[in-house]
Amino acid sequence: MSESRRTWQDVILPWATCVSMLAAILMVFLLVPSERDQGIVQRIFYFHVNLAWMAFGGFALVAGTSAWFLRTGSRRADRLAHANAEVGMLYTTLVLITGPIWARPIWGVWWTWDPRLTMTVVLWAIYAAYLMLRRLGGDDDTILRYAAVLGIVGSLDIPLLILAVRLWRGVHPAVMLSEDPDAGLKDPMMGWTMMVSALALGLLFTWLVSLRARLLAVDETVAAMHLEGAR
């Protein structure tokens, strides 16, 4: 690894992540005003929505790097797909946790089978199956290629999930794309808080993917050394 890359991944990225995360927490809990109708519970929105967008981005990267792997057989592409899937699953799990916390005081229930919520669970299940397939298949190249196909196909759920509020009637609010002139992020501080939170969670996602991909590379090196030693 070059010195510049080591500096970015080991010094700049962790510090940038920590600083932006602290700034996001400060803005969410101390600076941004509470939403008029939902009150203080709406503040979870700044994490919930950005977690979802980062997860979608991660799964889109799984599809892209999986296609790269299928075309070239690149182990680096396969590691990136694996790492993005794991971190994307972490973020999706947090979406499914923060959503009910937000929903309970607003809707009066922890969960309802709204189209967007249902399709989020489907997305989670698809990439859980992707990771299970990789785990059970080990280093078998055929299984890795099947998993890559699943990683690509699974990403097709994302545009449907994003458009679910418009395609099917449901109770889930369309906060960012709402046609209601009285809805959305009206206060400028809300917009800034949304952007800082997105930056923080995006940097955290990038850092976790970087660490996981490097660990996967180490695992492959150790496995190759064990195989060579056995021979």
SS (H, E, C) 192-216: HHHHHHHHHHHHHHHHHHHHHHHHH
Mean model confidence pLDDT for the chain: 85
Q: How confident is the model at residue 21 (pLDDT cuts 50, 70, 90)?
A: very high
pLDDT the model gives residue 43: 86
Q: How confident is the model at residue 15 (pLDDT cuts 50, 70, 90)?
A: very high
> Which three-class secondary structure state does DSSP give residue 158?
helix
- CB contact at 8 A, 28 and 43: yes
Mean pLDDT of 159-165: 77
> At residue 39, what are phi and psi to the nearest 5 degrees?
75, -155
Q: How confident is the model at residue 183 (pLDDT cuts 50, 70, 90)?
A: low
Mean pLDDT of 75-89: 95
pLDDT tens, position by position, 45-76: 899 999 999 999 999 999 999 999 999 989 99
Highest mean pLDDT among 12-16, 104-108, 129-133: 129-133
Better-predicted residue by pLDDT, 11 or 122? 122
- CB contact at 8 A, 43 and 32: yes
Please count the CA atoms within 13 angstroms of the CA of 218 that sit on its side-chain side.
7
Instruction: Tell which residue, 118, 202, 129, 130, has the closest CA to residue 160.
Output: 118
Q: Is the pLDDT of residue 177 over 50?
A: no
Q: Is the pLDDT of residue 171 over 60?
A: no
Instruction: Tell which residue, 54, 1, 56, 46, has the closest CA to residue 24.
Output: 46
- CB contact at 8 A, 108 and 118: no
**pTM of the predicted structure, to 2 decimals:** 0.87
Q: Which CATH number fits domain 3-230: 3.40.50, 1.25.10, 1.20.120, 1.10.1060?
A: 1.20.120
pLDDT the model gives residue 148: 95
> At residue 110, what are phi and psi to the nearest 5 degrees?
-75, -30
Task: Say how far apart CA 35 and CA 216 lie, in whole Å.
Answer: 43
In the chain, where does DSSP find H-type helix? 3-7, 13-26, 45-72, 75-107, 115-137, 141-154, 157-162, 164-167, 188-230
